[in-house]
């Protein structure tokens, strides 16, 4: 069964009752009910069987005592009838004389002594006592009129006259047995024997028996407990009471009713009755319950009743009920303990099962992960192999490319060398031709000057090839250069350019200090300037007014040289390609497309840069930015 772990949102928390608590309370109530129920059943069963046993025992006791009472009262039944046989009695009844009375009195006295009865006396048919065994006593019945006695009337009418009553003379209780004395079937008198039955009561008391005998009127005439004596066991109708009062059978006794506090019918003649009795031990009134067993006595209308106290049985039943409750509680406790143990074992088994499952799951996951890892590993190994193969291929390709690159570089270099050396060679051709002519003319000083210039050109060419080598190596430039010297050298070299004639040169280079040097090799600076000025001259070739401006300024500890022409300018669509190698717009062998690339490369190697601007006024301006050497010019540069 599953219970919700949290109350629904719609129910306030305080109104929700935890099902666990309800279950626990129900369980506790059930256990208590079970314990009480067991106790009750134990009590009831024990009481039932206890009463059964008590009843059986009581039945035996009742039987014994009934026999005892019967024998006690039956042993005198013959006695009155015996007097019929006595001659003197007959004579007295027929003709009473003093002498005859005396004879009968003595006879009755002797008979009374021998039989152990209380009194024996003779009545005439009118009910007057003619002779009696107690004729000597002061309380003698002699001459008394006892015609009102019921036993006398019964005897006269021929009925069995047995009667318990209280004597009207001395108020002494006794059992009266009367017998009609007949002669020739005519009643001549009545013989009466009065018997004492107190002996029975004394025996009962000795045996601690609670018993009583009730007579035909339901009046208790013998009782082990004197408190019950002459009490009526059933309600007496008013006429009966009146009759009894008239007959003085019980003298003047009130004949109260013996009323039990409670009465429970069990079987015929058997019931449970409770009386409030004075307890001798506790000194106060206590409720005592008896098992009452009743039985009629033979030859009489009397009943004997035996009262067996059931308090002991009830006490035993209470103990048994208590024991049953305790046993039930123990069983419940044992059951709970066993249940707890079973639950603990179940929990442990469940935990163990969960652990095994978790372990299995873990192992499964590990196996899965291991398989994944192995697959990944295999994939990685395959990838590594592929990469290694690709790397090998790449290396091969790279080697091929390097080889191809080397060949390309060789081609570029040779082209560049040719480009750079072209103009000095052209100058050399012109100068050497001039020198030959000056030598033929004998103008030696000019020839000498030309030869010196040729030498200088050869040196420059050497330096150019060196520079190109350096460019090829892309080594950093840590040289120093004199700008003015470089400008002069470049202009000198370009004098033979077709556009040089009619050129307006504006040079405005400002220096913050004298002999300021730039951080670049002299030859490289000259190469850059030759390229920039040559391009400017090329662009201005078609112009009528050619104007070249060289402007130099120190700016932020660096030197900025602007080479601006008023040439044709650079079309917008090709501006992005200016610094790309071999980009040229010049036709045929005129352009190689390496000048700007080389110049930018040389400037960058010196820590500077080369950029281009396109003035709105027209033409083009190249901006060369170079570092300034802070030291002094220590040696001349050529």
Which residues of this chain interact with ligand ADP, rule CB under 6 A?
531, 535-536, 539, 565, 567-568, 570, 578, 583-586, 591-597, 620
Q: Which is nearer to ligand ADP, 552 or 595 (CB)?
A: 595
Q: Indicate the burial class of 111 (C-beta count within 10 angstroms; 0-12, 13-18, 19 or more).
A: middle
Closer residue to ligand ADP, CB minimum distance, 326 or 623: 623
Query: Which SS3 state, helix, strand or coil, does residue 224 take?
Result: coil
β-partners of residue 625 are: 560, 609
On whether the CB atoms of residues 118 and 195 are closer than 8 A, the answer is yes
* Angle between helix 98-115 and 87-94 (nearest 10): 140
3-state percent breakdown (helix, strand, coil) of the chain, nearest 5: 55, 20, 30
Shortest distance in whole angstroms from residue 529 CB to ligand ADP: 12
Which of 193/532 has CB closer to ligand ADP? 532
Closer by beta carbon to ligand ADP, 428 or else 568: 568
> Is the CB of 489 or the CB of 536 nearer to ligand ADP?
536
Dist CA 292 CA 310 (whole Å): 10
From the number of C-beta atoms within 10 Å of its C-beta (0-12, 13-18, 19+), residue 327 rates as: middle
How far is CA 289 from its chain centroid?
Answer: 56
C-beta closer to ligand ADP: residue 453 or 584: 584
How far apart are alpha carbons 454 and 460 in whole angstroms? 10
Q: Which is nearer to ligand ADP, 244 or 533 (CB)?
A: 533
Q: Are strands 186-195 and 119-123 parallel, antiparallel or unpaired?
A: antiparallel
Q: CB of 464 within 8 A of CB of 424?
A: yes
Cβ proximity to ligand ADP: between 141 and 622 the closer is 622
Rounded to an integer, what is the distance from CA 163 to the centroid of its chain?
A: 87
Rounded distance, CA 193 to CA 133, Å? Answer: 10
Determine contact, residues 76/179, Cβ cutoff 8 Å.
no
Q: Which residue number, 43 or 622, has a Cβ lying nearer to ligand ADP?
A: 622
Q: Which residue is nearest to ligand ADP (CB)?
A: 595
Q: Which is nearer to ligand ADP, 308 or 412 (CB)?
A: 412
CB of 593 to ligand ADP, least distance (A): 5
Residue closer to ligand ADP (CB basis): 536 or 606: 536
DSSP state of 127: S
DSSP H or E run through 413? helix 311-441
What's the CA gap between 95 and 89, in Å, rounded?
Answer: 10
Cross-strand partners of 526? none
In whole angstroms, the minimum distance from the beta carbon of 557 to ligand ADP comes to 28
Beta carbon of residue 387, minimum distance to ligand ADP (angstroms, whole number): 41
Round the CA-based radius of gyration of the chain to a whole number and report it. Answer: 82
Give strand pairing partners of 181. Answer: 189
Nearest to 502 by CA among 549, 536, 543, 531: 543
Q: How far apart are CA 480 and CA 491, in angstroms?
A: 20
To the nearest whole angstrom, how small is the minimum distance from the Cβ of residue 603 to ligand ADP? 13
Q: DSSP letters of 140-179?
A: --TT-B-TTSHHHHHHHTTS-EEEEEE-TTT--EEEEEEE
Closest CB to ligand ADP among 349 and 408? 408
* Lookup: tokens for 303: 């009943």
Structure tokens at 370: 């291991």
CB of 578 to ligand ADP, least distance (A): 5
């Amino acid at each position: 069964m599953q219970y919700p772990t949290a109350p629904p949102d719609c129910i306030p928390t305080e109104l929700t009752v935890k099902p666990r608590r309800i279950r626990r309370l129900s369980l506790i109530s059930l256990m208590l009910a079970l314990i009480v129920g067991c106790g009750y059943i134990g009590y009831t069963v024990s009481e039932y069987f206890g009463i059964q046993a008590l009843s059986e025992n009581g039945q035996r006791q009742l039987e014994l005592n009934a026999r005892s009472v019967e024998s006690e009262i039956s042993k005198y039944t013959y006695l009155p009838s015996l007097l019929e046989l006595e001659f003197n009695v007959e004579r007295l009844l027929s003709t009473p004389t003093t002498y005859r009375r005396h004879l009968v009195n003595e006879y009755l006295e002797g008979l009374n002594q021998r039989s152990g009865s209380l009194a024996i006396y003779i009545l005439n048919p009118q009910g007057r006592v003619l002779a009696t065994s107690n004729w000597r006593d002061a309380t003698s019945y002699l001459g008394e009129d006892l015609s009102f006695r019921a036993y006398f009337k019964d005897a006269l009418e021929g009925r069995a006259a047995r009667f318990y009553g209280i004597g009207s003379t001395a108020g002494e209780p006794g059992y009266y047995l009367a017998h009609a004395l007949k002669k020739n079937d005519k009643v001549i008198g009545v013989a009466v024997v009065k018997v004492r039955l107190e002996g029975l009561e004394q025996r009962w008391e000795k045996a601690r028996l609670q018993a009583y005998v009730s007579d035909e009127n339901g009046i208790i005439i013998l009782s082990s407990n004197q408190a019950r004596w002459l009490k009526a066991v059933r309600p007496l109708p008013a006429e009966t009471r009146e009759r009894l009062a008239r007959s003085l059978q019980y003298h003047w006794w009130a004949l109260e009713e013996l009323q039990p506090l409670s009465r429970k019918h069990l079987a015929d003649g058997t019931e449970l009755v409770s009386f409030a009795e004075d307890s001798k031990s506790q000194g106060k009134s206590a409720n005592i319950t008896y098992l009452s067993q009743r039985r009629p006595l033979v030859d009489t209308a009397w009943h004997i009743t035996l009262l067996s106290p059931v308090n002991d049985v009830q006490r035993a039943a209470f103990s048994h009920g208590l024991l049953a409750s305790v046993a039930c509680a123990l069983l419940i406790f044992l059951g709970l303990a066993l249940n707890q143990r079973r639950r603990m074992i179940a929990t442990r088994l469940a935990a163990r099962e969960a652990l095994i499952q978790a372990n299995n799951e873990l192992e499964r996951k590990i196996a899965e992960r291991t398989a994944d890892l192995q697959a990944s590993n295999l994939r990685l190994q395959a990838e590594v192999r592929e990469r290694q193969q690709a790397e090998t291929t790449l290396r091969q390709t790279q080697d091929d490319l390097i080889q191809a690159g080397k060949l390309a570089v060789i081609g570029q270099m040779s082209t560049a060398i040719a480009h750079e050396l072209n103009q000095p060679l052209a100058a050399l051709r012109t100068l050497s031709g001039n020198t030959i002519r000056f030598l033929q003319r004998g103008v030696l000083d000019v020839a000498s000057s030309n030869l010196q210039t040729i030498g200088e050109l050869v040196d420059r060419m050497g330096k150019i090839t060196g520079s190109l080598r350096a460019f090829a190596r892309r080594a950093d430039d840590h040289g120093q250069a004199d700008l003015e010297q470089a400008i002069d050298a470049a202009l000198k070299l370009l004098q033979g350019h077709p556009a040089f004639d009619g050129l307006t040169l504006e040079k405005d280079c400002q220096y913050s200090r004298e002999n300021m040097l730039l951080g670049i090799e002299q030859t490289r600076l000259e190469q850059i300037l030759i390229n920039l000025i040559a391009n400017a001259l090329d662009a201005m070739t078609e112009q009528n007014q050619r104007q070249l401006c060289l402007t130099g300024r120190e700016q932020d500890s660096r030197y900025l040289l602007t080479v601006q022409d008023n040439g044709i300018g650079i079309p917008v669509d090709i501006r992005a390609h200016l610094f790309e190698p071999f980009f040229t717009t010049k036709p045929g062998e005129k352009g190689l497309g390496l000048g700007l690339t080389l110049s930018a490369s040389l400037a960058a190697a010196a820590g500077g840069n080369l950029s281009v601007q396109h003035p709105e006024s027209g033409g083009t301006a190249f901006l060369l930015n170079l570092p300034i050497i802070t030291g002094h010019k220590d040696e001349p540069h050529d």
